[in-house]
Amino acid sequence: MFGPRFKLFKLFGFQINVDLSWLILFLLLSWSFAANSFPQARPGLTTTTYWVMGVVTALLLFVSIVLHEVSHALAARRYGLPIRGITLFIFGGVAEMTDEPPTAKSEFVVAIAGPIASIAIGGVCLALWAAGQVGGWPGPVISIAGVLAWINIALVIFNMVPAFPLDGGRVLRSILWHWKGNLRWATRITAGIGSAFGTALIVLGVLRFIMSGDFLGAWMALIGLFLRNAARLSYQQLLLRTALEGEPVSRFMKTDPVTVPRQISVRELVEEYFLRHHHKLYPVVEGDRLVGCVTTHDIKQLPREEWDRQTVGAIAQRRCEENSIAPDTDAMKALAAMSRGRASRLMVVDGDRLVGILTLKDLLEFFSLKMELEEAA
């Protein structure tokens, strides 16, 4: 979902990140506020004043979104759900949960926490706007409070549309899950609504753009495209989780992996292993003992003139959680580890002994076959 992103700060123990795409949204919002919203609402101010108001409003909206997502994260923490971090990107923000809520109740609480926070923020901004009107506060301050109140309330209304993966869709999923006791069925229904809602936004956005040529139409279409893809991906992820959860890694690993002796040169490694077998990771061994592993990334770090002088053992990575896993580990946890480390292969290790290699390709082929068999049945 995300491209390059940067760590900003921690709040309540959660890492707040910003994706580069969010800078586009920040600039667009600042420009929209400075060039349109504030000049219409409060004419007669200088261009500099309008731009300061626009930038301040965009930054405070950033704070509102962070608080919305932190509310989700705090509710998730209450139920023991791990949160990788909170990331702001071009379509808003997301609290990155690495697991599904364990019960319908926890799903409801986690989903509703964000909109409740946004309602509170909108209420505070509305109160400040009213106080400013009565107390004769500076016009720019009153306008900023009013815009933030309106935006937070609008975000709540939009977020509560019962279309997965919006908050309203998650609330509906929790209700359906509680009613039928079937998470897969509830996700299929709400993801279908999410996909249909996204398609409707695309159509309306394109029509609006064709008829009026304004930016809002294009933005609606982009949001619709994102929601439709996110809804479909969410359902596929649940199917994947259902297929793999409870299955041990040992069921999917290859027990005769290609290994590399630690004493050979890096050039031999490239020519005899990487270019012949086309894998991105190889276990490095010394006799029967596992030394570690070597990847394409390790090769790229070494200048070519060193390939003949350096041995594989000199550049090999030590075995760690990022490149190895135990054979009795749940396959879904292995897939999550691959996702975190952006790896397609993991060494399967029992103690200090290499017992196999787990590949992303094998996991996905198993999932695809299982889905075909279920559809046939």
- Which domain CATH number covers 357? 3.10.580.10
Which of 188, 212, 244 terminates a domain? The answer is 244
Same domain, 148 and 267: no
Number of domains in the chain: 2
Tens of pLDDT along 122-169? 999 999 999 988 887 888 888 889 889 998 998 899 889 888 888 888
Same domain, 262 and 233: no
Same domain, 228 and 285: no
Highest mean pLDDT among 84-98, 139-153, 205-219, 313-327: 139-153
Contact (CB, 8 A) for 280 and 295: yes
Q: Is residue 14 scored above 70 in pLDDT?
A: yes
Which of 244, 265, 297 terminates a domain? The answer is 244
Q: What percent of the chain clears pLDDT 70, i.e. is strictly above it?
A: 95
CA distance 18 to 22: 7
Same domain, 105 and 201: yes
Tens of pLDDT along 20-44? 878 888 888 888 888 888 888 888 8
Same domain, 326 and 342: yes
Same domain, 302 and 201: no
Same domain, 205 and 80: yes
Same domain, 214 and 253: no
pTM reported for the whole predicted model: 0.74
Same domain, 203 and 286: no
Contact (CB, 8 A) for 95 and 179: no
Same domain, 314 and 337: yes
Q: What percent of the chain clears pLDDT 90, i.e. is strictly above it?
A: 10
Q: Is residue 339 scored above 50 in pLDDT?
A: yes
Same domain, 205 and 299: no
> Could you tell me the residue range of the domain that residue 343 belongs to?
249-376
Same domain, 49 and 163: yes
Q: Would you state the pLDDT for residue 2?
A: 52
Which of 184, 215, 244 terminates a domain? The answer is 244
| Residue environment code for 77-98, b if the CB has 16+ CB neighbours within 10 A, otherwise e | eeeebebbbbbbbbbbbbbbee
Q: Is residue 375 scored above 60 in pLDDT?
A: no
Residue type, 241: R
